[in-house]
Structure 1
Amino acid sequence: MSSNLVRKAASDGPVLAARNIVRRFGGLYAVNDVSFEVRRGEILGLIGPNGAGKTTMFDLLAGSIPPSSGDIVLNGANVSGDAPHRRIRRGLGRTFQIPRPLANLSLVENVMLAGQGQTGESLVANFLRPFKVAAEERVAEEKAMELLDLVLLSRLAHEPARVLSGGQRKLLELARVMMADPEIILLDEPAAGVNATLLEVIMDRIREINARGVTFLLIEHNIDMVTRLCHRVLVMASGQLICEGTASEVARDPRVIEAYLGGAA
């Protein structure tokens, strides 16, 4: 069954689900029996103190590390044993807290490299089907330019990525991940190291992409951003999911006050 048919068949269920996920490192439980669902079309926040297990959870969802036990379900399919590139093809994209674009390539080239299933990826095809490869590259460049326009970087499209500020690199990362047509994007601390002006731009772009039907799950320490952006919030502490609800609901939960806010009233 093609990936598009798989996505269509799963359209009524959650786009992503964790089922009783456990991840051990020796005797340490980094994630301990965590279950949750990401509803199709929402912006879901994942918060918690340092060491709560959030980044490990992201690594598990993206396929960077396997779970010790439990299942990860993407568009109705169990992908617990799938490599990251297979999850990308099933509709899952991920950004990183510190984006690392190819500094000497232009922005448009960086975005084009994130495309999937290009004939030109095969060395033989470049010799046997050069016209098809060239046609696909033109289409990919047009799409990349449209995505750079979406994240307000089109004026820098042909500049090397090294000229970008930290916040602009996060916008480029959004364009790169969108190149693969994801249904869900895992965002790792989009506010980290970003000035207030660019943060407003990033939030606006996330809302715009979400309005186009893309689901988001994000880790973030900026509570103001989470409150303004997320439809629901999950809270982890000591490797476990301790609370979920709206931002205002979790802010009032005593377990969150104790674990995340250090017991402050």
Structure 2
Amino acid sequence: MLEVRSVSKHFGGAEVVSNVSLGVGQGAIAGLIGPNGAGKTTLFNLIAGSFAPSSGDILLEGAAITREAAHRRLKRGLGRTFQIPKPFAEMTLIENMLAAAQGQRGESLFANWLTPRRVAAEERANAEKAMAHLEFLGLARLAREPARVLSGGQRKLLELGRVLMADPRIILLDEPGAGVNPALLDTIIDRVIEINRRGITFLIIEHNMDLVARLCGHVFVLAAGCMLFEGTPSEVVRNPEVIDAYLGTGST
């Protein structure tokens, strides 16, 4: 599904990601861990198209996307969330969801004049789709409330819902457990598992090793911008280099 080949990223004289390679298979849930400053978010930004790599290649389902813009990658089925969700605070949840729908005819002035019935039908279909996702995520009762009323964990769920509106085939999930209470964390884990059962692939940045162990079949470990180790969660937590570079720092 996703292949990163010898990717590096320089900012001025600093090499933040150095010759990193990884592969995530179709239908997998893979984890990406490492201490703060390891380059995890930068690597996500490179994969998602927010940054262009200084060198190396990125492939999605065998197609090179190294130089494609982020919106082009989204159309190919690559969605991502952010560590700190930023919904449109004064818009309702349903409005936030509808804003993420792709290729809406109503965005065209001519379509609104020439095919108003098709535009209206599409808008109804998108609204039904958005409500179905909100129901699945446990947010339907808040659909008409402004997003500012949501807790941190609920914002994570809304962020996931907005990505689902784009019909992704792979989701880059950035720290879904950060700042989330245990009850909502269980909900997020359950929803990720259910979405994965639908055939959607995940690559997850996470510090919570319990969440990683519950979700991920394979884990990549970054340290100082380099790939330090990869293996199953049980192999990762037993590896001396990982313990020294990451787990031994006191992170969980």
Please say whether Structure 1 and Structure 2 have the same fold, judged by a TM-score greater than 0.5. Answer: yes
| Distance in 1 of aligned mates of 2:132 and 2:31 | 27
| Distance in 2 of aligned mates of 1:121 and 1:218 | 32
1:26 matches 2:12: yes
Percent identical residues: 62
Shift of 1:263: 7.2
List gaps (5 residues or longer) in structure 1.
Answer: 1-14
CA deviation map 1:94-139 (0-9, x unaligned): 0001111111111111111111111111122222221111110000
1:119 matches 2:102: no
1:235 matches 2:221: yes
Q: Equivalent residue for 2:236?
A: 250
List gaps (5 residues or longer) in structure 2.
Answer: none
1:80 matches 2:80: no
Q: Summarize the alignment of residues 95-114 of structure 1 with structure 2, pairs less than 5 Å apart.
A: 95-114=81-100
Shift of 1:64: 0.1
RMSD: 1.1
Q: Equivalent residue for 1:213?
A: 199
Q: Summarize the alignment of residues 1-265 of structure 1 with structure 2, pairs less than 5 Å apart.
A: 15-262=1-248
Alpha-carbon contact 1:45-1:232 (below 8 Å) kept: yes
| Distance in 2 of aligned mates of 1:263 and 1:60 | 26
Equivalent residues, number: 250
Give the 3-state SS of the residue equivalent to 1:262 in structure 2.
helix
Structure 1 residue runs of 4+, over 3 Å off?
A: none
Give the 3-state SS of the residue equivalent to 2:247 in structure 1.
coil
Alpha-carbon contact 1:75-1:90 (below 8 Å) kept: no
